[in-house]
C-alpha cells in the first residue's frame, strides 16, 4: 500500500497522498503495536519518510533540491509516525 501510494507518477498532491498514507500507517500501527515492534516500526518509519521525501521532491521543480526535514514532514505535511503509536505499558 505504501509503495503504491508513494509512486512518483501518482496524480495526487503531496498533502492528499499523505492523508491517504496516514490512514494506512495508523491502521498498521494499531494492528501490530501489541507485539515487540519498536525496531521494525523505526525501520518502517525511516523507509516511509524516504519514499515521501522522494515523492515531494519529484513533484517540485528540478531546481528545488532542498532536502525536506522530519520537522517539515511532521508539522507542515502532518505525516503520521508508527513509533508514536507505541505507548508505554501501564503498571
Q: Is residue 90 part of a domain?
A: no
Residue 89: per-residue pLDDT: 53
Write down the pTM of the prediction: 0.81
Q: Is residue 57 part of a domain?
A: yes
Q: How many CA atoms lie within 13 A of 13 on its CB side?
A: 4
Model confidence at 90, in pLDDT bands (50, 70, 90)? very low
28-70 per-position pLDDT tens digit: 998 888 888 889 999 999 999 999 998 988 877 655 667 788 8
Q: Is residue 63 part of a domain?
A: yes
Nearest to 52 by CA among 76, 17, 24, 28: 17
pLDDT of 26 higher than 50: yes
Q: Is residue 16 part of a domain?
A: yes
Domain limits at 62? Answer: 2-85
Give the mean pLDDT of the chain. Answer: 85
Residue 91: per-residue pLDDT: 34
Is residue 81 within 8 Å of residue 74, measured between CB atoms?
yes
Cα(69)–Cα(38) distance, rounded to whole angstroms? 22
- Number of structural domains in the chain: 1
Q: Is residue 81 part of a domain?
A: yes
Amino acid at each position: 500500500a505504501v509503495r503504491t501510494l508513494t509512486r512518483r507518477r501518482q496524480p495526487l498532491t503531496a498533502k492528499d497522498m499523505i492523508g491517504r498514507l496516514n490512514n494506512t500507517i495508523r491502521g498498521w500501527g494499531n494492528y501490530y503495536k501489541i507485539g515487540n515492534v519498536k525496531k521494525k516500526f523505526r525501520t518502517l518509519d525511516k523507509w516511509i519518510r524516504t519514499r515521501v521525501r522522494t515523492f515531494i521532491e519529484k513533484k517540485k521543480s528540478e531546481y528545488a533540491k532542498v532536502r525536506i526535514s522530519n520537522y517539515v514532514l511532521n508539522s507542515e505535511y502532518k505525516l503520521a509516525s508508527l513509533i508514536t503509536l507505541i505507548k508505554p505499558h501501564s503498571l
